[in-house]
Chains A and B, each alone.
Chain A
């Protein structure tokens, strides 16, 4: 098996795929949005609760490959408790990393997603939950 593949399916990814964090419906969300990849049928819904300028809570549900599920799970961990400006910065760093523009400023479990950049076809999988999170923020009524 190639080293690239080892890097793609790191144990952190497999753990988050098997036991995704914040994998639940949120009843009292400020906003939510769906993400859909018509190519492979992957589908995700992200809920967000705002407390002023801060992401008080974030959750997701859906079905998808290990990369999309783990990435959405890591996303919820990365942005929970962050301000809107911090969330945007994290999103930008994530996007730069998976599109191969470097992993500068990436911390924690999100580092495990760096392997995606070697597989351009999987960037869409990894981004699905992140784009839904952004859309949920746009929809959110404070």
Chain B
């Protein structure tokens, strides 16, 4: 077999049963390569949510009746299941939120306003998603802190020397992504943590693009806070989480006030419920948590090492085949330092036009700045085209992408 055929064979089939994904199963000619934006949902997730509403729906933590207890049980059992998937031992330090964006806003607002003062420093990296950039930038502006960006080294990786220079003793926050959503760069978390620990900063890891793709082992990362979204890991939209070390959560003021998060409400003062409830004001998204727990179960059934290996195989095959398309430049580090993401530019063709032509071939990719404008500026591009892979993709999807890119060249009048 020639080398390309071997690479193709390694990712010839998806590592899931496509029947599990109705949307993909019913659209034979769809090549969904935008899982970094959101993943498709397996039937097990949808059924878990449906059966929660059909069999156990009631407001949790409130009613004295059996049905409410069932709802509470479903919610808290889901928290345990997801904590286990994440590698988090202290289950009550997993706070459910609407997702990564809300989790980061909780930290920047509740922790940030209480702990960051004028003259302090906040450090982020050049490759952050806007969700891990703008909340910290706005916090810095609001309290008069310094907002500092750790730059990239050549090749789309973080410059660790520059990060070390940025981490001065007055640094109160170091926030970084586990994996870049725009490039797929996998960051060296233990190195970053080691550097950040030379300060007394809160160390925040954005795991939105990490959790779905490899064993997150959150406790072992040694960070203070870890955030993620459910919908990027086969779960429903509108649920995600925030994991923070217990002593930090206990000292941190609430983010929102209302039902469920209180202990005693006096006429003049109130006191707060215990963890995790202190940070979950209002009726929670029980069905979302149930769906996310089912997604964790589904991924554990596959095994995260297989997920990682499948994405690496797809990436290797894509990288080899992209050489057939003249004018393609892949951005970021070599494939072995990336998750299942290929971000590229094609000569003078604007990514929006590429995505349009690809769409007519049933190939769904993301075009644009990927909510990472500071990164796009540093790379000196206005936008890129991004193909991202997951468990249901296979070599056919890659083949369709390559054919469609050749069509794009043709359609856009490139020789």
The residues of A with any CB-CB pair to B shorter than 8 Å are 1-2, 4-5, 8-9, 11, 14, 18, 39-43, 63-67, 69, 119, 122, 125
Question: Which residues in A have their C-beta under 8 angstroms from that of B369?
Answer: 40-41
The listed residue (B350, B412, B413) touching A64 by CB distance below 8 A is B350
Residue of B351, B353, B361 contacting most chain A CB atoms (<10 Å)? B353
State the CA gap A18–B353 with chains docked (Å).
13
Closest to B373 in A: A41
State the CA gap A11–B356 with chains docked (Å).
16
The listed residue (A5, A18, A42) touching B352 by CB distance below 8 A is A42
- Per CB-CB distance, the 5 closest pairs between chain A and chain B, nearest first, are A65-B352, A65-B350, A41-B369, A40-B368, A14-B413
Q: How far is the CB of B240 from chain A (nearest CB, A)?
A: 23
CB contact under 8 A between A41 and B356, given known A1-B407, A14-B413, A66-B412: no
* B382 touching A63, Cβ below 8 Å: yes
Asked if B411 is at the interface (CB within 8 A of a chain A CB), the reply is yes
State the CA gap A137–B22 with chains docked (Å).
51
The listed residue (B351, B360, B367, B383) touching A5 by CB distance below 8 A is B360
CB contact under 8 A between A5 and B353, given known A39-B368, A41-B368: no
Question: Which residues in A have their C-beta under 8 angstroms from that of B360?
Answer: 1-2, 4-5
The listed residue (B353, B357, B383, B407) touching A41 by CB distance below 8 A is B383
The listed residue (B373, B376, B413) touching A11 by CB distance below 8 A is B413
Question: Which residues in B have their C-beta under 8 angstroms from that of A41?
Answer: 368-369, 373, 376, 382-383
Residue of B351, B352, B412 contacting most chain A CB atoms (<10 Å)? B352
* A5 touching B411, Cβ below 8 Å: yes
Q: How far is the CB of B1 from chain A (nearest CB, A)?
A: 32
* B376 touching A5, Cβ below 8 Å: no
Q: How far is the CB of B118 from chain A (nearest CB, A)?
A: 31
Question: Which residues in A have their C-beta under 8 angstroms from that of B383?
Answer: 40-41
Question: Which residues in A have their C-beta under 8 angstroms from that of B349?
Answer: 66
* A9 touching B412, Cβ below 8 Å: yes
Within 8 A of A (CB), among B332-378: 348-353, 356-357, 360-361, 367-369, 373, 376
* B413 touching A5, Cβ below 8 Å: no
The residues of B with any CB-CB pair to A shorter than 8 Å are 348-353, 356-357, 360-361, 367-369, 373, 376, 382-383, 407, 411-413
* A18 touching B413, Cβ below 8 Å: yes
Question: Which residues in B have their C-beta under 8 angstroms from that of A14?
Answer: 412-413
CB contact under 8 A between A40 and B353, given known A1-B360, A66-B412: no
State the CA gap A64–B367 with chains docked (Å).
12
State the CA gap A11–B412 with chains docked (Å).
9
The listed residue (B352, B361, B373, B411) touching A125 by CB distance below 8 A is B352
Question: Which residues in B have their C-beta under 8 angstroms from that of A67?
Answer: 352-353
Closest to B361 in A: A1
* B368 touching A8, Cβ below 8 Å: no
State the CA gap A5–B355 with chains docked (Å).
12
State the CA gap A43–B357 with chains docked (Å).
22
Closest to A64 in B: B350
Question: Which residues in B have their C-beta under 8 angstroms from that of A63?
Answer: 382
13 residue pairs of the A-B complex, CB under 8 angstroms, read A1-B361, A1-B411, A5-B356, A9-B353, A9-B357, A18-B348, A41-B368, A42-B352, A42-B382, A63-B382, A65-B352, A66-B353, A67-B352
State the CA gap A17–B61 with chains docked (Å).
60
* A122 touching B356, Cβ below 8 Å: yes
Q: How far is the CB of B410 from chain A (nearest CB, A)?
A: 9
Question: Which residues in A have their C-beta under 8 angstroms from that of B348?
Answer: 18
Q: How far is the CB of A126 from chain B (nearest CB, A)?
A: 12
State the CA gap A73–B228 with chains docked (Å).
44
* B356 touching A8, Cβ below 8 Å: yes
